[in-house]
Amino acid sequence: DPSLAVSDPAVHELLLAEDRRQRDSIRLIASENYASKAVLEASASSLTNKYAEGYPGRRYYEGMDFVDPLERLAIDRAKQLFGAEHANVQPYSGSPANLAVLLALVPPGGTIMGLSLPAGGHLTHGWKVSATGIYYKSVQYGVRESDHRIDMDQVREMAREHQPKLIWVGHSAYPRELDFAAFAEVAAEVGAHLVADIAHISGLVAGGVHPSPVPHCAAVTTTTHKTLRGPRGGLILSRKEFAKKIDKAVFPGLQGGPHNHTTAAKAVAFNEALQPEFKTYAAQVVTNAKALGEALLSRGFELITGGTDNHLLLVDLTNRGISGRVAAQALNACGIELNGNSIPFDKRKPFDPSGIRIGLASLTSRGMGVEHMDAVAGFIDAGVREAAAHEGAVSDEFAQRSRASVAEFLAAFPAPGL
Ligand code: PLP
């Protein structure tokens, strides 16, 4: 069998170029990371050839000698990692995991409640364009205008008024700790299922630097590829009493055959997250985020909520005279990868919002510490200044110089897996 380089040089070249890009840029997208070589290896295994509809011991196909023990291993490790009674490792990604939970716990048309997208919530928590906002009656809570924090009084009032069957707690762009116990109290009062979506923070929860939602929730969903540093995929944890319903909702409710190669890679990632070094990594992610926040504040940037408790920073660029999208594009040309992001009560449109979102998982995976955050803030500041001074554009010469400095700075930090 010829190698990819021989059989398909066009694809091979593009993959090599992407490796280089990931190696040579300061990656600050809050939902991304570097998976280990072991995780990548498992993802690229022959398990991609295998069908396995059903669950270990109850399959619709033959040849499960190694797939069953593998899925059991992934399940056991997930349960151990998060202290959960039940785990389903089959969701293809975070969005299908969330849809499966809704299918399991809420009748079609039932009322659900989640944090709104502009306040930092995810599409799948009932936003109007998502299937979760189309097939369910969705009401959305926000953050307080005064301090941009979740307002538990609003959550309680809305829950009393709308009597949701399910309440989501979780976010894609909220820089503060979530009070799962307070949400559980509200959910219990109105008889709703509480479901946490810890897609962004599951690495921090696994590493013990963010409180765990598991004791407070009917179910907990997560992606496996963000702070958790695994393959692209999803995971549902739940109480035993919901295990059957959730398994049935994932398959046959929503999905067909599980992606066994990804299941193998999830098992590898869960094992990595069970090691003591992972705790050190998770703590470092948060320390780095706080340090980068301080370094940005000292350069005149404004942070939503003034700082962070987790892996991410939300920066309001209004005072810098540039939009989030234009800044993100300019910084990308300079070798700094992050995304434009709406800020709470944003006066601009979501496609060209006022803010940028910054996450520290990737740089921490490369071995950076607080002592390197000032340099990172310097690169961001220089790019934003240059772009703001030239109507959003950076010259090719500036971009090239920045990219060369970035590559030089990154040379001391090998990128895992690449
Ligand atoms: N939930 C949250 C909180 C997320 O941030 C995301 C992804 O960004 C998802 C769910 C969806 O995950 P996926 O993109 O894997 O479908």
Residue 222, strand partner residues: 235
**Residue 117 corresponds to which tokens in the numbers above?**
């997208």
Nearest Cα neighbor of 364 from 19, 30, 7, 15 is 30
pLDDT tens track for 307-343? 999 999 999 999 999 999 999 999 999 999 999 999 9
Which amino acid, residue 245?
K
pLDDT tens track for 82-103? 999 999 999 999 999 999 999 9
Task: Please indicate whether residue 97, judged by its CB atom, sits closer than 6 Å to ligand 1.
Answer: no
Q: What is the DSSP string of 286-329?
A: HHHHHHHHHHHHTTT-EEGGGS-SSSEEEEE-GGGT--HHHHHH
User: How far away, in angstroms, is 199 Cα from ligand 1 center?
Assistant: 6
Q: Left, alpha or beta for 120 (phi > 0: left; psi -120 to 50: alpha)?
A: left
For residue 4, give Cα distances in angstroms to 1, 10, 15, 186, 259. 9, 9, 10, 54, 22
121 assigned binding-site residue: yes
Spell out the per-residue pLDDT of the chain, length 418, in tens: 999 999 999 999 999 999 999 999 999 999 999 999 999 999 999 999 999 999 999 999 999 999 999 999 999 999 999 999 999 999 999 999 999 999 999 999 999 999 999 999 999 999 999 999 999 999 999 999 999 999 999 999 999 999 999 999 999 999 999 999 999 999 999 999 999 999 999 999 999 999 999 999 999 999 999 999 999 999 999 999 999 999 999 999 999 999 999 999 999 999 999 999 999 999 999 999 999 999 999 999 999 999 999 999 999 999 999 999 999 999 999 999 999 999 999 999 999 999 999 999 999 999 999 999 999 999 999 999 999 999 999 999 999 999 999 999 999 999 999 9
Strands 219-223 and 234-238: antiparallel
User: Is the CB of residue 68 less than 8 Å from the CB of residue 59?
Assistant: yes
Confidence at residue 323, expressed as pLDDT on a 0 to 100 scale = 97
Please list, in sequence order, all residues whose beta carbon lies within 8 angstroms of the beta carbon of residue 260, skipping any fewer than 6 positions away. 47, 48, 50, 52, 67, 70, 71
Nearest residue (by CA) to ligand 1, atom 2, is 199
E strands, 101-198, in order:
111-115, 137-141, 166-170, 193-197
E strands, 103-188, in order:
111-115, 137-141, 166-170
Beta-sheet strand order (sheet of 312-316): 302-303, 312-316, 355-359, 339-341
235 assigned binding-site residue: no
ipTM associated with this complex: 0.99
In which residue are the tokens 């976010």 written? 171
Q: Is 55 helix (H, G, I), strand (E, B) or coil?
A: strand
Confidence (pTM): 0.98
Task: Please indicate whether residue 122, judged by its CB atom, sits closer than 6 Å to ligand 1.
Answer: yes
* Active-site residue set: 51, 53, 197, 223, 226, 232
Task: Please indicate whether residue 94, judged by its CB atom, sits closer than 6 Å to ligand 1.
Answer: yes
Indicate the angle between helix axes 373-389 and 324-333, nearest 10 degrees.
110
